[in-house]
């Protein structure tokens, strides 16, 4: 591929930015998730085109985790390669996140929320991504067995060490989030952002009070799987499973999830979107961004075309 020079119009071609809670950080309304589509099995040049397109359109925030791939670690390795090939000159324009908490290496320390696991995982992530620090480090899930104070103090120490600039909390229940906010804030490392699944089919963070807790405490909120892994797009509206789709891989999105009831609901939403002269995906993303306290949505995209459509929801 040709040498990369970022688009000079990347901050003036429409992308809107939201302040993340009460912090100094602005995040683009549309951020890019690396969970699927950036593993070892994906074509590097295609992935590179998606990431170049994202950055060229003002998407500064990239969301990774130690275990993204497959295989686990390969999305971070791809980020390392892109750092070398394209992104290094733009490091200070990028806001890169990673996470630890799901199974990553064998034995008792490659999983969950111990100090040992979080610290070792972040060191591995930095090596794979060829970075000195990440902008944001998340605890990827709540660990009911490790004392919360151990996990939280490890996060404080990670920030103090300079290996991460900010801390994020992902998928923690409300009671644990409250403890985290208090513990971290008392140590001058308030959490920057909460990451949870919020979309037109799954409103749990609204219903469970997570979004309100974030809003009341000046913490940002970022939605993962905002398109319900592709259900809230035109992908499955015919009731069949396209060959190249995520559902065809039957890993996290399985064909049996596409019930007649869900299909009817999706078709109804699509009709509503058409009335508003929008695509279903665009309407679904805009709905999330309209919720009070939402900072950004983390979209996945398996092509530049998809990303191009999704970006519209983050522009004026
Ligand atoms: N914290 C956590 O535990 C957690 C969990 C899950 C995800 N995440 C984060 O959230 C990010 C996004 O999650 P997600 O990938 O599930 O997001 P998503 O945006 O809900 O789904 C992405 C998929 O939807 C389809 N799609 C996207 N735009 C489309 C369009 N315009 N038209 C048609 N189809 C379209 C594509 O499916 P095809 O591949 O079929 O083309 C794409 O791979 C992840 O990458 C990750 O960073 C975090």
pLDDT, tens digit, 9 for 90 and up, residues 215-230: 999 999 999 999 999 9
* Residue 43 DSSP class: -
Ligand 1 pocket, residue 128 CB under 6 Å: no
pLDDT of 99 reads 98
Give the contacts of 96 (CB within 8 A, at least 6 positions apart): 61, 62, 64, 79, 129, 131, 134, 135, 136
Whether 152 and 183 have beta carbons less than 8 Å apart is answered as yes
| Three-state secondary-structure class, residue 166 | strand
* CB atoms closer than 10 angstroms to residue 290: 8
| Separation of CA 230 and ligand 1 centre (Å) | 6
Q: Cα-atom radius of gyration of the chain, to the nearest Å?
A: 19
Instruction: Give the pLDDT band (50/70/90) at residue 1.
Output: confident
Residue at 155 is within a domain: yes
pLDDT at residue 90, as a whole number: 98
Any domain includes 272: yes
Tell whether 254 is covered by a domain: yes
| DSSP alpha helix (H) spans, the chain | 44-56, 74-82, 115-129, 148-161, 174-186, 204-207, 210-216, 246-249, 260-275, 280-290, 304-311
- Asked, for residue 243, whether it belongs to a domain, the answer is yes
Name which residue sits closest to atom 47 of ligand 1, judged by CA. 33
Domain-embedded: residue 221: yes
Rounded average pLDDT over 137-150: 98
Q: What is the pLDDT of residues 11-25, one digit of tens each?
A: 999 999 999 999 999
- Residue 1 belongs to some domain of the structure: no
Q: 225: Cβ below 6 Å to ligand 1?
A: yes
Its domain, for residue 101, covers 17-314
Q: How far apart are CA 125 and CA 67, in angstroms?
A: 10
- Tell me the C-alpha distance between 147 and 208, whole Å: 23
Best of 300, 305, 314 for a ligand 1 pocket test (most atoms within 8 Å of beta carbon): 300
CA angle 78–80–84, rounded 5-degree value: 115
Query: Domain of 187: which CATH number?
Result: 3.20.20.100
| Overall domain count for the chain | 1
Ligand 1 pocket mutation, candidates 63, 65, 247, 306, criterion most atoms within 8 A of CB: 306
Q: Does residue 10 lie in a domain region?
A: no
Q: Ligand 1 within 6 A of 223 CB?
A: no
Q: Output the residue whose Cα is nearest ligand 1's atom 27.
A: 301
Pairing of strands 17-19, 26-28: antiparallel
Residue 249 covered by a domain: yes
């Amino acid at each position: 591929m040709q040498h990369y020079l970022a688009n000079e119009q990347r901050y003036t071609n429409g992308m809107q930015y939201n302040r993340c809670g009460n912090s100094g950080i602005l995040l683009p309304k549309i951020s890019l998730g690396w969970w699927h589509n950036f593993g070892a099995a994906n074509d590097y040049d295609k992935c590179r085109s998606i990431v170049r397109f994202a950055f060229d359109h003002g998407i500064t925030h990239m969301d990774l985790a130690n275990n993204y791939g497959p295989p686990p670690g390969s999305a971070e390795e791809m980020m390392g390669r892109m750092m070398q090939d394209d992104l290094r000159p733009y490091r200070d324009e990028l806001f890169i996140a990673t996470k630890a908490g799901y199974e990553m290496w064998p034995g008792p320390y490659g999983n969950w929320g111990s100090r040992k696991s979080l610290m070792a995982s972040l060191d591995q992530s930095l090596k794979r991504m060829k970075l000195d620090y990440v902008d944001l480090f998340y605890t990827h899930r709540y660990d009911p067995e490790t004392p919360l104070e151990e996990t939280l103090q490890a996060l404080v120490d990670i920030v103090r060490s300079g290996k991460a600039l900010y801390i994020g909390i992902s998928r923690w229940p409300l009671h644990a989030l409250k403890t985290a906010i208090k513990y971290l804030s008392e140590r001058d490392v308030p959490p920057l952002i909460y990451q949870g699944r919020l979309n037109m089919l799954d409103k749990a963070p609204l219903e469970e009070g997570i979004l309100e807790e974030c809003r009341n405490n000046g913490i940002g909120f970022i939605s993962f799987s905002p398109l319900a892994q592709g259900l809230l797009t035109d992908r499955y509206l015919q009731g069949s499973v396209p060959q190249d789709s995520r559902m065809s891989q039957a890993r996290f999105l399985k064909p049996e999830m596409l019930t007649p009831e869900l299909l009817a609901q999706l078709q109804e939403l699509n009709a509503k979107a058409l009335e508003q002269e929008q695509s279903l995906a665009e309407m679904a993303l805009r709905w999330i961004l309209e919720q009070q306290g939402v900072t950004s949505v983390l979209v996945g995209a398996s092509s530049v075309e998809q990303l191009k459509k999704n970006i519209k929801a983050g522009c004026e």
